[in-house]
Chains A and B, each alone.
Chain A
Amino acid sequence: MADSIQAAESEQANQAATRIIRITREALDDATVRALVRQVTQSSDGGIVTFEGVVRDSARGKRVQALEYDAYPEMAEQEMTRIADEVASRWGATHIAMLHRIGRMTVGECSVVVVVACPHRAEAFDACRYAIDTLKATVPIWKKEIAEDGEEWVEG
């Protein structure tokens, strides 16, 4: 797990890679998301869709203070790679970033980012939607809700 954007950028420069897939403990802040968009987007791309999943202050009627995410990192990255392969074959969307943060996050912090850059917007929207929906359904990542009245590992 190479975590720094600098490492990803040098990887990008060396391999012209436009696929970035990672489980990370580092913050997915605005600067990081902006850098990911820049890294995956090529001159052939005219439509870029970015999905950010953010910690919300309530769930099932409870006031959430924080979420703690865990992952089976090797398998999670492998499953995310499989999703990127599917997105490439179905929509031709080969310029993609999928990052999920693990560890403890407070309300407003970003837990997951999907960036898809395509020549046109329609396939970018469809591919990004498919990627985040499939990530939630198949990638081994878990979350614990930390609320005022206790902690609980939850589905969904």
Chain B
Amino acid sequence: MANMLVKIRYFAALRETTGRGDDTLELPDGATVAEARERLTATQPALARLLPVCAVAVNRAYVAADHALTDGDELVFIPPLGGG
């Protein structure tokens, strides 16, 4: 099966923890958000504490963990909100 590239952007606590604003994740075609989260936890152990409490947005819309990703998607993990 071919692989796809997903663009990740980091904000707030995730940006501080990773020390960067974005990243690229290579995943098998059809991988889900949950699989992306597992991969990221493995490659960025510092995020292991944060990722379980994050919601997820793909291409600027909230999605569930079983959402299937597509090549070129923008994936953002959304920590607990603090606006207002």
Contact digits for A36-77, partner B, Cβ 8 Å, 1 yes 0 no: 000000000000000001000000000000000111101110
A-chain residues with CB within 8 Å of residue B60 when the two chains form the complex: 72, 74-75, 78
B-chain residues with CB within 8 Å of residue A144 when the two chains form the complex: 12-13, 82
Asked, given contacts A74-B60, A75-B76, whether A139 binds B12 with beta carbons under 8 Å apart, the answer is no
Say yes or no for B1: interface residue by CB 8 A criterion: no
Asked, given contacts A71-B11, A142-B11, whether A135 binds B83 with beta carbons under 8 Å apart, the answer is yes
- In the bound assembly, the distance between CA atoms of A81 and B60 in angstroms comes to 13
- In the bound assembly, the distance between CA atoms of A69 and B79 in angstroms comes to 13
| CB contacts between A and B, total, < 8 Å | 71
Say yes or no for B78: interface residue by CB 8 A criterion: yes
Say yes or no for A153: interface residue by CB 8 A criterion: yes
Say yes or no for B39: interface residue by CB 8 A criterion: no
- In the bound assembly, the distance between CA atoms of A23 and B15 in angstroms comes to 18
What is the chain B residue whose CB lies nearest that of A132? B84
- In the bound assembly, the distance between CA atoms of A69 and B13 in angstroms comes to 11
Contact digits for B14-32, partner A, Cβ 8 Å, 1 yes 0 no: 0110000000000000000
- Which B positions have Cβ atoms within 8 angstroms of A? 9, 11-13, 15-16, 57, 60-61, 76, 78-84
Other A-B pairs, 16, CB within 8 Å; known A72-B11, A72-B60, A155-B81: A53-B84, A70-B12, A74-B60, A78-B60, A111-B84, A135-B83, A139-B83, A140-B78, A140-B81, A141-B84, A142-B13, A142-B79, A142-B82, A144-B12, A144-B13, A155-B82
